[in-house]
Structure 1
């Protein structure tokens, strides 16, 4: 087994394995918070992976003219994210009106509206706490905050990337490291709510993913300054060195995420972010991340992330403290995510950009209508009442006096 594989143009199963590990951590945290109090760190892993993917897409588009550079990036990302995201918002709002027993409609309408325009990471009030919202499970769109952070970063990252393109060699890495340090300093010095929700407090995690991409990409080039020492060490020590390092980092990461004692968030986030970057850089097959089990969950991770929370919220509100039903809801979430991935998700990813545009615009406006359904219905009823029952300038009521009834008017 060679530690460095020429996978530049092929899919890396171990990255899907990291996604699988991340989504399982999030599921554990949401469904069994006492047993997996640190599972929220899976979202931090997703941010690093997103940074890696964004950098890869931007690198592939850099040869295009400026306008095409932006459009190609946004078309690819929005095609991947928006159709399923808007569909799940539509389904959640419909379920809110029909099957949810006690969920507050007004609050969820507001949350759905914010999710629709990717501002879920902006709390309704200064006192709003994400972890408290998780424990109550009244908001069906609590989990969409991370998608809001990611989409907001999409509008920043092309400019970050273009600035980095002007730098060569080690100076490019210095640029991204400095950017990461500034963002991390903002994260560490900000109030908890800001550090958790602000895109600027998360840039350092995306940047670690971008740095990881440059290192992996440069491993195939002779002039790389960072990866070459690792490659030479691997040649001297044998293939087992990369695997040993990767297993060590993986075991520590899983220990931090799976330990039943809650750890301090800031150092835990720092370690998980750095370790995820290292796992990406160490492009070597291993029995854990390359396992079919984690790859399966990695493949359905996006659908599963969107689907699981409304199902959890329904069970939490309807059958509180029932572990068996909660576990059944988890299994149903996985099965439904697999079904959606195999059907709708695969279908729309094969469609043309024009078809995706029509689909996304249609789903967006349908969501606007459904989210504001009660207000729209009230306005329509009011208009209809004014039209049907107004006696102003109606010739049928000519000659009717206050002392006459409709029965005697004729």
Structure 2
């Protein structure tokens, strides 16, 4: 691997777009291997304006032949665009009529780059206006875009983000689709050379661990992610998830093969690109279920849920012990203990513990935690179900449909308390989401090539490559179906007609699955607009805080008409503050820090929950009563010896 890594550290070879005809267009000078190159395909021949090269002349390079599509593609960016152009052509060549590439060292497309990095200025909007491509791939290696910004201020105030949005808006007015590359962490200066020096000591590259990579991608990824949320006809391409190791860390090399991904200039090596390794990993990655994958699964769930959950539980307990009257302690201390160990949904057969009754009483601050406890218990079941499915049957959808049916039968045949709170009576709802996901994703048992073909078709099937084909009639009604299903799910619970709860719950679950399936073809504006997306971002925090705020509002201001509105506002403010000041920060922490944080918060909750049910508990000795020693004459109710008897008699 040392020799292979050495040979692949070749800047001209890693940049040159083989089979593409270079010209001086847009630069007025030849700058090969960067600059502008173009290729047109017609009747088996590749054309660049007046130059036509036969497929046989190009076949020696093994690329850029047999393109017979009807769309013009443009790949644009800094030198990384030329580095990735072969990959893009290979993936989309059956849809390409004309393929053009423009790249130049150090010049970012989405934001202004200082002269010290970008030596030649090009008007990218004018270039797109002149070439009129159908599809644009913006493949820039983020440089200036990695500059930090104040995360406490709205991102709209960031100048670099404004540049990104301005450029994207300009492109979207001209082209049908824009693909924007997400930022990657940078490799250190002379990355490949330093790796060679390390391996020359006789040690494998994996021993260098993370020393080749600079963790400088956070701010650029935030900007690009926000662009993806706001753009109309763009899609973000993210290499990072398929390049990380088992611990979720990007190393810049494959620790199993010791093959370096990058050259000295942070370009992907030609071997890595042309082998199709990257595209195969993106389109056909197959996960194996083993102890390591289970650990990753549970770590990600715990990281997302537990810190904020225990923070909310701790805050509720502090409010219980310091603000609310003593009468709240007797029931809420026990409920807090159940919530801490995730058994809030385990209820005795008591009519007072029915969910409706608890909502009406509004006295238990932890009533709402039952649903999260069901979800967490499901997380312990789903890996087991996946193992059983993979070891017994290859038909994923059939297996989970059968599990859902069994759960649904249990839901309808058991008593009301069990059907509402038990995780086993709720499995059918979780399985509905799994089946909806499986209906439009690659089967895990497919080969890599089959997965690649199928996922590639999914990526390409956006309508922009099918102008010659008539769109299926059923696809034309998807926007209406999506809107109707969403509105029906929202309005259904509020209709004046009495709808059986079981029927309503079943329908809403089915409608949710339909929205997931339809979402592959059509994104509903009612669900994808920025307001709804932001509500989704704060929804977990809002879920944790809304019920305790409601209970306290009902207690302190039961008659005030404005109190509930004020409670809603307080809940939203708490959710927003927690999301921005706590949740967004801790999610970026490493695993060890997450472990310490979760342990500290859970321990604090446990200490608070160990408080007595009554402040007077323990102040009096508990001893057996000897009734023989009681003197009835000393009793307060015996007034015969009372000196006030005459006065009482006079009153009579």
1:308 is aligned to 546
Q: 2-side partners of 1:321 and 1:377: how far apart?
A: 29
CA separation of 1:373 and 1:94: change in aligned 2, threshold 3 A: same
Q: Deviations over 1:102-146 (max 9, x none)?
A: 652021010000000000001255332111111111100000000
Cα pair 2:362 2:554 within 8 Å, conserved = yes
1:205 aligns with 2:429: yes
1:163 aligns with 2:401: no
2:502 is aligned to 266
Q: 2-side partners of 1:102 and 1:133: how far apart?
A: 19
Q: 2-side partners of 1:321 and 1:376: how far apart?
A: 28
Q: CA deviation at 1:282?
A: 1.0
1:331 is aligned to 569
1:24 is aligned to none
Q: 1-side partners of 2:470 and 2:478: how far apart?
A: 7
Q: 1-side partners of 2:617 and 2:569: how far apart?
A: 42
CA separation of 1:241 and 1:150: change in aligned 2, threshold 3 A: same
Q: 2-side partners of 1:374 and 1:251: how far apart?
A: 47
CA separation of 1:291 and 1:363: change in aligned 2, threshold 3 A: same
2:356 is aligned to 131
Give the 5 Å matches for 1:42-191. 63-64=287-288, 66-101=290-325, 103-127=327-351, 128-166=353-391, 171-191=395-415
CA separation of 1:269 and 1:238: change in aligned 2, threshold 3 A: closer
Q: 1-side partners of 2:294 and 2:590: how far apart?
A: 18
Q: 1-side partners of 2:420 and 2:535: how far apart?
A: 25
Give the 5 Å matches for 1:197-236. 197-218=421-442, 235-236=471-472
CA separation of 1:344 and 1:179: change in aligned 2, threshold 3 A: same
1:194 aligns with 2:418: yes
Whose RCO is larger (CA < 8 A, sep 6+)? 1
Q: CA deviation at 1:176?
A: 0.9
CA separation of 1:182 and 1:158: change in aligned 2, threshold 3 A: same
Q: Which sections of structure 1, spanning at least 5 residues, go unmatched?
A: 15-59, 383-410
Q: 2-side partners of 1:61 and 1:123: how far apart?
A: 42
1:40 is aligned to none
Cα pair 1:61 1:73 within 8 Å, conserved = no
Cα pair 2:345 2:374 within 8 Å, conserved = yes
Cα pair 1:234 1:242 within 8 Å, conserved = no
Q: 2-side partners of 1:363 and 1:301: how far apart?
A: 21
CA separation of 1:177 and 1:88: change in aligned 2, threshold 3 A: same
Which stretch shifts more, 300-309 or 287-296? 287-296
Which stretch shifts more, 314-323 or 104-113? 314-323
1:286 is aligned to 524
Q: CA deviation at 1:65?
A: 6.1
CA separation of 1:101 and 1:160: change in aligned 2, threshold 3 A: same
Cα pair 2:329 2:613 within 8 Å, conserved = no
Cα pair 1:101 1:317 within 8 Å, conserved = no
Q: Which sections of structure 2, spanning at least 5 residues, go unmatched?
A: 1-171, 173-177, 183-224, 231-283, 444-450, 621-652
Alignment partner of 1:193: what SS? helix
1:47 is aligned to none
Q: CA deviation at 1:217?
A: 1.4
Q: 1-side partners of 2:470 and 2:513: how far apart?
A: 19
As a proportion of its length, which structure holds more helix?
1
Q: CA deviation at 1:61?
A: 9.8
Alignment partner of 1:155: what SS? helix
- Runs of 4+ with >4 A deviation: 9-14, 166-169, 219-224, 231-234, 375-382
Q: Deviations over 1:9-63 (max 9, x none)?
A: 999979xxxxxxxxxxxxxxxxxxxxxxxxxxxxxxxxxxxxxxxxxxxxx9963
Q: 2-side partners of 1:198 and 1:6: how far apart?
A: 45
As a proportion of its length, which structure holds more strand?
2
Q: 2-side partners of 1:288 and 1:306: how far apart?
A: 24
Q: 1-side partners of 2:472 and 2:602: how far apart?
A: 56
Q: 2-side partners of 1:364 and 1:380: how far apart?
A: 26
Q: Structure 2 residue aligned with 1:319, among 557, 572, 580?
A: 557
Q: 2-side partners of 1:313 and 1:136: how far apart?
A: 9
Q: Deviations over 1:202-259 (max 9, x none)?
A: 00000011111112313987669xx9xxx99993227532212212222322231332
Alignment partner of 2:439: what SS? helix
Cα pair 2:349 2:417 within 8 Å, conserved = no
2:605 is aligned to 367
TM-score, structure 2 as length reference: 0.46
Q: Deviations over 1:254-304 (max 9, x none)?
A: 231332444211111111111100101112122211122222211110000
Alignment partner of 1:104: what SS? helix
Name the Cα RMSD after superposition.
Answer: 3.8
Alignment partner of 1:200: what SS? coil
CA separation of 1:65 and 1:238: change in aligned 2, threshold 3 A: closer
Larger Rg: 2
Q: 2-side partners of 1:64 and 1:129: how far apart?
A: 42
Cα pair 2:346 2:421 within 8 Å, conserved = yes
Q: CA deviation at 1:173?
A: 1.2
Q: 2-side partners of 1:181 and 1:135: how far apart?
A: 32
Cα pair 1:102 1:317 within 8 Å, conserved = no
